[in-house]
Amino acid sequence: MRASSSAYHRGMPNNQASRFILAWLATGVSDFLWAVVLSVGVYKNTFAQLWQGVASVPLGKSAMQGGTRTVVIGILLHFGVALAWTTVFFILTRFGWMQRILNSRWGALKVAAVYGPFIWAFMSLVVIPIFTHRFRLPPNWFRWTVQALGHIVFVALPMIAVYQRTRVESAAPAAA
């Protein structure tokens, strides 16, 4: 390993639990910020509406009037979902085919380009309808496309980047 590469990775966690927690937090925080900017800045919802909307999936429409309590529940649910998808990703990295893709040229982008939109589609078409007991196709395909692309950049890539950077560090021999 080159010295500059080693210096770049210095300070990154070198055990699986630390790598996992860092990947989860990077994903959760990145997606949190993306959701806030998109929802508040572009779609003109309030911060509370965004996170109460998340809480309303398992709690029902009354969560939209739940105040700070349901905002906090929505944020906790958000990080719980990030934890679940980080877990799925780390399990997938145990398979040789995933390692081959990740180690290929543009591997992180290849995986993110599939995994990010898959997360968005699965949550929107499977998980949310199970909780809300209603299935509907997206009413606004432009927003759907924005969300799918955003999940590449703000969900899958942070997770994969942390995984790859910390994997390199943990595989490097200890400095003498």
- What is the spatial distance between Cα 68 and Cα 51, in angstroms, rounded to a whole number? 10
Q: Between 100 and 14, where is the model more confident?
A: 100
Residue 40: pLDDT band (50, 70, 90) is very high
pLDDT digits (tens, 9 = 90+) for 98-155: 999 999 999 999 999 999 999 999 999 999 999 998 888 878 889 999 999 999 999 9
Domain-by-domain residue ranges, the chain?
3-171
Q: Given the structure tokens 């877990």, which residue do they identify? A: 87
- What is the spatial distance between Cα 83 and Cα 79, in angstroms, rounded to a whole number? 6
- What is the spatial distance between Cα 109 and Cα 101, in angstroms, rounded to a whole number? 10
Residue 1: pLDDT band (50, 70, 90) is very low
pTM for the whole structure: 0.84
Q: What is the torsion angle, in degrees rounded to the nearest 10, for the CA atoms of residue 138, residue 140, residue 141 and residue 142?
A: -150
In sequence order, what are the residues at sequence separation of 6 or more whose Cβ sits closer than 8 angstroms to the Cβ of residue 95? none
pLDDT digits (tens, 9 = 90+) for 54-88: 999 999 999 999 999 999 999 999 999 999 999 99
- What is the spatial distance between Cα 84 and Cα 103, in angstroms, rounded to a whole number? 24
Residue 167: pLDDT band (50, 70, 90) is low
Confidence at residue 136, expressed as pLDDT on a 0 to 100 scale: 81
Q: Please say if the pLDDT value at position 161 is more than 70.
A: yes
